[in-house]
Amino acid sequence: MNEYRLRRRVQFYETDVAGIVHFSWFFRYMEEAEHALWREAGLSIHPPEGEFGWPRVAAAFDFQRALRFEDEIDVHLRIAEMARKTIRYECVISKDGHQIATGTMTIACVQKKPTMRAVEIPDDIVQRLSASKT
C-alpha cells in the first residue's frame, strides 16, 4: 500500500471569513489521507503504547484554487520516497477532476524511549508501505 485516495467533504468549520477553506486545513487533509493509507496497510501511525513516533520534518503546499463549504474533494496521497529513517509523501487535492492544491510532507521515525531519537524504519512497516496497491 503506497498510495491512497481519500474522498472527503469540506466542513463548515473549515471555512473562514474569506468564504473559502482556511489554508491550514489542507495540511490536515493530507494527514488524514496519510493515516488512512496506514490503516489500509494494516498499520496505525499512533498505536496505544507504541514504541515509535512519526514527527513531521517538513510540510508544504502550493494552492491553485479555493475550496468552499460542502465541496467534495479527493485527496490523493502517495509515498514518493522511503529512505532509511524518513518517508516523503506527495499529495494532490482535486475537485471534480480539477487540481486544487499540491503538497509534500516528510516524516521521520523516532524511538520514544529512553530518549527521543531518529531510528531506522522497522522492516514490517517498510514492507507494508512498499507493497503496490492491489
Binding residues (CB under 8 A) for a copy of itself: these are 11-13, 15-20, 22-25, 27-28, 31-32, 35, 39, 44-46, 48, 53, 55-63, 66, 68-70
Nearer Cβ to a copy of itself, position 20 or 132? 20
d(CA 105, CA 103): 7
Nearer Cβ to a copy of itself, position 1 or 132? 1
Parallel, antiparallel, or unpaired: how do β-strands 56-63 and 52-53 relate? unpaired
Q: How far is the CB of 39 from a copy of itself (least distance, A)?
A: 7
Cell of 92: 494532490
Nearer Cβ to a copy of itself, position 98 or 132? 98
Task: Please name every residue paired with 79 in a beta bridge, in sequence order, or none if there are none.
Answer: 89
Parallel, antiparallel, or unpaired: how do β-strands 72-82 and 56-63 relate? unpaired
